């Protein structure tokens, strides 16, 4: 739920919408880099993006892939220590499979970084080297690595702290998994293909406890990947410092490609689990989010002992400091005084933050920048119950649980089949609604496996969020049977009164309904909705772990 990467959200007429979009407590997209005051001091546990989708790798369609990214904005040349995971932290991925806003399954990751103590002869002395590597690195548990990075994975059923825990193991029963070193550079690890071969040795086949017979296997990988989120952070946070032409014209959909952050890396925790191991009963919808916790206390040693990461001794209960489900929420929706509180919160308490969604502030802030333009565009149908309905419960008929308590998390209908990468609609469900001519024709859709029905790497969550905020998931349904489509309040689903709008890559759609009497006209007959960064242009793998080979440190 954090939100970092706000992406070029903004369009002159759409700026308000963006604002409102950004407001949706389960927000729109992006990710979460450095979104709250306290987490900026703990980058190793700062979650950036969370993905959850039916696996579209050939032969793996019955599996669900969960990917949690941490350690934002890594410069590939970040040696000599690079970006190892924190052994004093607990990284978790949570699944709610009955809609009660509480975790039913949790995957817990713990890391261990062991100093190998590589030394080389200097004169008549053997002296410890200052680097992570003492030579070329090409194989698992390579002897040239000075730090061996490993991890364990536990699966907890029930409450994350008091539930029943069992170890996920390798196929041979071993409980310790190896993590590849970051991509130090081409001299140490070869070209991108060579590094991917090395990293591929760390994709482990796993045995998952407590799952149905024949459905208790999967895969796990933890390692550095190329940043997969397309966003131009500089212009966005500089009060949306971008020319309108760059984001209003469909031809400029990738106007900010050069300024996006694909030159950065992240660390991905990726696990693939059979879908039947994640659901409960007959309801195929699951919710998911990721968190990171640290010990409640720490003591800094005035004289650290020799070893690896020995300056701090930790103790006390695990304390949550990071949380992320849908992208963008904490970054541009939650008010500054409550950002740390949101990172420490659980989905079951999300209604405590509802005012930030029902009465969003971003439109007003953008209005200060775009005086005379945006202030008249901010929606007045307050409270914005439409945003609560769309983002906190899932879409009726798509990914809304049979019984649901409103809470911010990604929701995935595991009964909806995956779509091959090349055929995926980058606008997800919203794009399909547009393509088939309205929500009433969803039966004709060919790709309902994308955001907000889960999230795939290719899904352009920013643009999708803009479509939703502009009423794209309700207004184009001219029959206005909104409760069947959105599972919400048919009289108060804001459409911002657009007469027509164009989504880049789609046919212009004429709107004949404003989806409620309380909408606010934009004052424009058309608007092209995009943010200047095309998610579909980012390179990805078509196999687990899906995110692309990281940038090399010596590039």
* 3-class state of residue 220 by DSSP: strand
How many angstroms separate the Cα of 114 from the Cα of each of 125, 136, 295? 23, 19, 20
DSSP string, 251-285: GGTTTTGGGSSTTEEEEEEEEEEEGGGT-BTTB-E
Distance CA 488, CA 394 (A): 10
pLDDT at 546: 98
Q: Is the distance from CB of 498 to CB of 475 less than 8 angstroms?
A: yes
Q: What is the pLDDT of residues 197-234, one digit of tens each?
A: 999 999 999 999 999 999 999 999 999 999 998 877 77
pLDDT at 138: 96
Global confidence as pTM: 0.85
pLDDT by residue for the chain (555 residues), tens digit each?
A: 343 333 322 222 222 233 233 333 333 334 556 666 677 778 899 999 999 999 999 999 999 999 999 999 999 998 899 999 999 999 999 999 999 999 999 999 999 999 999 999 999 999 999 999 999 999 999 999 999 999 999 999 999 999 999 999 999 999 999 999 999 999 999 999 999 999 999 999 999 999 999 999 999 999 999 999 887 777 767 766 766 556 656 777 887 778 788 899 999 999 999 999 999 999 999 999 999 999 999 899 898 888 888 888 899 999 999 999 988 777 777 888 888 888 888 999 888 887 877 677 765 665 554 444 434 444 555 555 555 666 688 877 788 899 998 899 999 999 999 999 999 999 888 778 767 766 667 788 899 999 989 999 999 887 776 655 554 444 433 333 323 333 333 333 333 222 233 434 444 433 333 344 333 332 222 235 567 788 888 999 999 999 999 999 997
DSSP string, 277-324: GT-BTTB-EEEEEEEEEEEEEEEE-SSPPSSSS-SEEEEEEEEEEEEE
- 90: phi then psi, degrees, rounded to nearest 5: -120, 115
pLDDT at 357: 72
The closest of 409, 448, 455, 410 to 429, measured between CA atoms, is 448
DSSP string, 61-115: TTEEEEEEEEEEEEETT-TTT--PPPTTEEEEEEEESSSSSS-SEEEEEEEEEEE
DSSP string, 149-194: EEEEEEEEESSTTTSEEEEEEETTS---EE-PPP---HHHH-SHHH
Residue showing tokens 């892939």: 65
pLDDT at 27: 34
Distance CA 522, CA 16 (A): 9
- 25: phi then psi, degrees, rounded to nearest 5: -55, -10
């Amino acid at each position: 739920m954090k939100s970092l990467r706000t992406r070029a959200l903004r369009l002159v007429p759409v700026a308000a919408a963006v604002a409102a979009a950004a407001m949706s407590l389960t927000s729109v997209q992006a990710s979460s880099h450095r979104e709250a005051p306290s987490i900026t001091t703990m980058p190793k546990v700062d979650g950036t993006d969370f993905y959850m989708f039916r696996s579209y790798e050939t032969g793996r369609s019955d599996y669900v892939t969960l990917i949690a990214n941490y350690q934002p904005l890594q410069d590939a040349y970040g040696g000599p220590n690079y970006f190892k995971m924190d052994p004093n932290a607990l990284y978790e991925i949570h699944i709610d499979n009955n809609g009660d806003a509480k975790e039913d399954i949790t995957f817990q990751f713990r890391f261990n970084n062991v100093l190998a103590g590589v030394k080389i002869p200097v004169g008549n002395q053997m002296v410890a080297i200052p680097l992570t590597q003492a030579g070329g690195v090409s194989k698992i548990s390579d002897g040239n690595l000075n730090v061996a990075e490993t991890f364990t994975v536990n699966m907890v059923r029930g409450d994350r702290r008091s539930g029943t825990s069992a170890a996920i193991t390798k196929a041979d029963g071993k409980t310790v998994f190896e993590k590849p070193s970051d991509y130090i550079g081409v001299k140490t690890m070869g070209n991108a293909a060579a590094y991917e071969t090395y990293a591929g040795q760390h994709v482990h086949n796993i045995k998952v406890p407590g799952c149905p017979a024949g459905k208790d296997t999967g895969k796990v990988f933890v390692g550095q990947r190329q940043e997969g989120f397309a966003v131009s952070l500089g212009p966005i946070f500089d009060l949306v410092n971008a020319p309108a032409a760059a984001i209003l014209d469909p031809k400029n959909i990738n106007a900010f490609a050069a300024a996006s952050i694909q030159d950065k890396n992240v660390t991905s925790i990726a696990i693939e689990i059979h879908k039947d191991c994640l659901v409960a009963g007959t309801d195929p919808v699951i919710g998911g989010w990721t968190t990171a916790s640290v010990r409640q206390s720490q003591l800094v040693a005035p004289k650290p002992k020799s070893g690896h990461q020995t300056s701090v001794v930790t103790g006390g209960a695990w304390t949550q400091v990071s949380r992320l489900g849908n992208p963008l929420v904490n970054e541009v929706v939650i008010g500054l005084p409550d950002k740390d509180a949101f990172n420490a919160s659980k989905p079951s308490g999300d209604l405590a933050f509802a005012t930030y969604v029902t009465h969003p502030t971003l439109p007003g802030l953008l209005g200060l920048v775009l005086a005379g333009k945006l202030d008249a565009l901010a929606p007045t149908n307050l409270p914005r119950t439409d945003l609560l309905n769309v983002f906190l419960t899932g879409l009726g008929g798509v990914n809304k649980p049979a019984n649901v308590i409103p809470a911010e998390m990604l929701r995935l209908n595991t009964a909806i089949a995956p779509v091959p990468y090349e055929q995926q609609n980058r606008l997800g469900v919203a794009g399909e609604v547009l393509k088939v001519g309205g929500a009433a024709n969803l039966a004709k859709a060919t790709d309902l496996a994308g955001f907000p029905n889960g999230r795939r790497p290719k899904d352009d969550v920013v643009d999708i969020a803009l479509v939703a905020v502009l009423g794209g998931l309700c207004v184009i349904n001219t029959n206005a049977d909104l409760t069947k489509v959105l599972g919400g309040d048919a009289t108060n689903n804001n459409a911002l009164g657009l007469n027509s709008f164009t989504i880049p890559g789609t046919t212009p759609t004429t709107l004949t309904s404003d989806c409620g009497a309380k909408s606010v006209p934009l004052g424009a007959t058309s608007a092209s909705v995009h943010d200047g960064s095309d998610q579909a242009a980012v390179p990805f793998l078509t196999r687990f772990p899906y995110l692309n080979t990281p940038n090399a440190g010596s590039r």
